[in-house]
Amino acid sequence: THLDFTEAAEKFGRVGGFAHLRTLVKQLRGQVSEDASLLLDGGDTWQGSGTALWTRGMDMVGAANLLGVDVMTGHWEFTYLEEEILSNVAAFNGEFVSQNTRATEDALFDGVPVYDEDSGHVFKPYTMKTVNGRRVAIIGQAFPYTPIANPKRFIPNWTFGIRESEL
């Protein structure tokens, strides 16, 4: 969001769609050493197209894998059912992080799958990467208003929110 898209288009050419995006990512990553870049995804990737709807996001997981996404969090990915989200996360080659997605107490009692039973985190809350010899923390902040934006029946066992004090 900080890019000047007109300037970027003049410098890098057409950008749009995964084919153009893959070309740009390969070009940019080719200009630095292998450990000098991270490709982050803030969500909205697994949802929004007809094919994503038909495959419940799995086609976009494949596209993100081909693109080389290293770490992502969720936004409209949570419009799918819990089982579908977990299946997509399992198929994703990168890391899916979310510090603000927790299992409800009832869900924990019922044995719903979580990353950490003690904290109730459904997903790994953060990850540490080494980029160009420096440690970088990536904290997942999933869309906090998911229960308001989507029917509760999609994700009945998970809670969201901003969780600023825990962040």
Give per-residue pLDDT as tens, 56-82. 999 999 999 999 999 999 999 999 999
Give the per-residue pLDDT at 10: 83
In angstroms, rounded to a whole number, what is the distance separating the alpha carbons of residues 104 and 160?
10
The 10s digit of each residue's pLDDT in 122-141 is: 999 999 999 999 999 999 99
Most confident region among 2-6, 136-140, 146-150 by mean pLDDT: 136-140
Whether the model clears a pTM of 0.85, i.e. scores above it, the answer is yes
pLDDT tier, 1 (very low <50, low <70, confident <90, very high otherwise): very low
